[in-house]
Structure 1
Amino acid sequence: MAVTMADISHLRKMTGAGMMDCKNALTEANGDFDKAMEIIRKKGQAVAAKRSDRDASEGCVLAKSTGKYAAIIALKCETDFVAKNEDFIKLTEEILDLTMAEKAADLDAANSLPFGDSTVKQAVVDRSGITGEKMELDGYGFVEGAKTAVYIHPGNKLATIVAFNQETTDEVAHEVAMQIAAMNPISVDAASVPADVLAREKEIAADKARQEGKPENLIERIAEGRIHKFYKEVCLLEQEYVKDPSLTIAKFLDKASKGLTVTGFKRVTLNED
């Protein structure tokens, strides 16, 4: 059975596969669209299995806000060449839009969402067959608040989302989203620093004080002082505002609107910090 250009274009629209891959699949399937799609799918599964131990360190990080809700996601691949491909970026956008529409609870839920005739996870595997590279969805997260904002750094390798407890201007919200991108905080405030991280930092601070020969009866006090410095480095509200070091982010927000604060954020990067 002769394969027509219309058939090839139709299969390409259904799968996102390249024209030649669609032609070959249709030829092998003797024009049967279901069989052709299965051929393309199996190719993706084979590539995914073969390259499962490879490092997917490149990719595309995108984020969007609908006002009171914002989500972020990273679709990873092996090379920058694939990451910059229009179809790859489009797939990332489509997955992000879907997760936002469905308000996926976590990464597993995002991967399980219906996508085309299968799931998001299967769509990513299918694309592996097209690109010939390992691909995986990663870095998914969302925030909700009275106001949310996003920042995507040029190149789609770094993005942030942030939520606020009350309405504020787009300019103020964007400044905080950029602060998160630039300064890489790990928590909103001291109270929300993960317990294991805090315990490790206290241990490091105490060990350093001992190595410096400080008296044992002063070790705990010295360690606490260093923890306060640690908070100023990693807690968003305690960080110096990058555009005006005389202000902390907490003071910058309160100056913009009394009582304004951050309730949550997420930062995803494919770069080395």
Structure 2
Amino acid sequence: MKSSLVDKIKKLRKITGIGFMDCKIALIKTNENFDKAIFWLKTKGEKIALNRSFIETKEGGVISSITMDHTIGTIIGLSCETDFLSKSRIFLKFLNFLSKHSLLFKNKKEFLSSLYKKQSIQDLIFEKMGIIGEKLELKIFERIESLFVMNYTHHNNKIATLIGFNKNVNNNIAKNIAMHITAMNPITIDKDKIPNDLIKQEIEIIHKQIKIEKLPYDKKEKIVSGKLKKFISENTLLNQKFIKNNKITIKEYLKKSDKNIKINFFIRKRI
């Protein structure tokens, strides 16, 4: 038996408390995937007393919600142990409940200590852990307020976005931009918001890329300028090409609707 497999069996035993041979079979059956091995053991009816302090909550889901008046939005991220659970109905239903309830609170601490039917949210999370048999942890709590807020959650519940505008915006337009942010992951809204150290870092990277090229100084600087311009256009929201129409930028897309619309801020989170 390979030593790497033996080490994995020992680790799985430490996590689950299951016997050596059962752990060995579970790992072989699942190509040595820990999450799948634990799930396989559970499906076989094994009583797993998981060592919660040892387990990493590397899976989970996020969801964004907004108030009815579109002035407040939150992103909630709940971690769990396995990808199987993160996709389950019981997990997603609980995540959705937490998200809706979170709209009433300003920060993570306030939210976790808040009461729902005489139980704190933290206690509800602990209670749910006992039901599903996995460690759960509130990893993300983000909140924004603006004159108009829109949200978008990717269908796999791994990425969620909030965006705040300076005035009321057509729902479809606001949703399209939130969807664009989710897909394209801009660094910031516009070039004037990019941190100076990030610009300096990018210039350094570009210089290293063209260092070996035997070009005159002025031509090298022209290349640097061009590459930097491309970096800015690809990584700032207003200058990115709109995912639904790559012939126009987000800035142009907004102007078509209302030239006075401004994006105050956005938050994009993934788990």
Q: TM-score, normalised by structure 1?
A: 0.70
What residue is the counterpart of 1:19 in the other structure? none
CA distance in 1, matches of 2:132, 2:216: 61
Q: Does 1:143 align with 2:144?
A: yes
Checking the alignment, whether the CA contact within 8 Å between 1:48 and 1:135 is kept in structure 2 is no
Q: How much has 1:148 moved relative to structure 2?
A: 1.4
CA distance in 2, matches of 1:75, 1:170: 27
Q: How much has 1:185 moved relative to structure 2?
A: 1.2
Given the alignment, which residue of 66, 79, 83 partners 1:80?
83
Q: Give the partner amino acid of 1:86.
A: R
Distance change >3 Å, CA 247–CA 48, structure 1 → 2: farther
CA distance in 1, matches of 2:236, 2:228: 11
Q: How much has 1:118 moved relative to structure 2?
A: 5.9
Q: Give the partner amino acid of 2:104.
A: A
Q: Deviations over 1:237-261 (max 9, x none)?
A: 1101112222100110011112212
What residue is the counterpart of 1:262 in the other structure? 263
1:228-267 paired onto structure 2 within 5 Å? 228-267=229-268
Q: How much has 1:216 moved relative to structure 2?
A: 4.8
Distance change >3 Å, CA 116–CA 169, structure 1 → 2: same
CA distance in 1, matches of 2:150, 2:181: 11
CA distance in 2, matches of 1:196, 1:126: 45
Given the alignment, which residue of 92, 114, 117 partners 1:89?
92
What residue is the counterpart of 2:72 in the other structure? 69
Q: How much has 1:88 moved relative to structure 2?
A: 2.4
| Partner secondary structure for residue 104 of structure 2 | helix
Q: How much has 1:200 moved relative to structure 2?
A: 2.4
CA distance in 1, matches of 2:230, 2:58: 32
Q: How much has 1:91 moved relative to structure 2?
A: 2.7
Q: Does 1:226 align with 2:237?
A: no
Distance change >3 Å, CA 199–CA 98, structure 1 → 2: farther
Q: Give the partner amino acid of 1:95.
A: L
Kindly report the root-mean-square deviation, in angstroms, between the aligned alpha carbons of the 2 structures.
2.8
Q: Give the partner amino acid of 1:73.
A: I
Q: Give the partner amino acid of 1:80.
A: D
Q: TM-score, normalised by structure 2?
A: 0.71
| Partner secondary structure for residue 79 of structure 2 | strand
Identity of aligned residues (%): 32
CA distance in 2, matches of 1:136, 1:191: 36
Q: Deviations over 1:126-174 (max 9, x none)?
A: 4334333232222322232221111122232222211111111111111
> 5+ residue gaps in structure 1?
1-46
Given the alignment, which residue of 93, 96, 101 partners 1:98?
101
Q: How much has 1:115 moved relative to structure 2?
A: 5.5
Distance change >3 Å, CA 131–CA 226, structure 1 → 2: same
| Partner secondary structure for residue 73 of structure 1 | strand
| Partner secondary structure for residue 211 of structure 2 | helix
What residue is the counterpart of 1:33 in the other structure? none
Q: How much has 1:119 moved relative to structure 2?
A: 4.4
Distance change >3 Å, CA 122–CA 208, structure 1 → 2: farther
| Partner secondary structure for residue 50 of structure 1 | coil
| Partner secondary structure for residue 142 of structure 1 | strand
| Partner secondary structure for residue 151 of structure 1 | strand
Distance change >3 Å, CA 116–CA 214, structure 1 → 2: farther
CA distance in 1, matches of 2:133, 2:189: 40
What residue is the counterpart of 1:171 in the other structure? 172
CA distance in 2, matches of 1:184, 1:82: 26
**Mean CA deviation greater in 181-190 or 77-86:** 77-86
| Partner secondary structure for residue 102 of structure 1 | coil
What residue is the counterpart of 2:57 in the other structure? 56
Checking the alignment, whether the CA contact within 8 Å between 1:71 and 1:140 is kept in structure 2 is yes
CA distance in 1, matches of 2:193, 2:120: 34
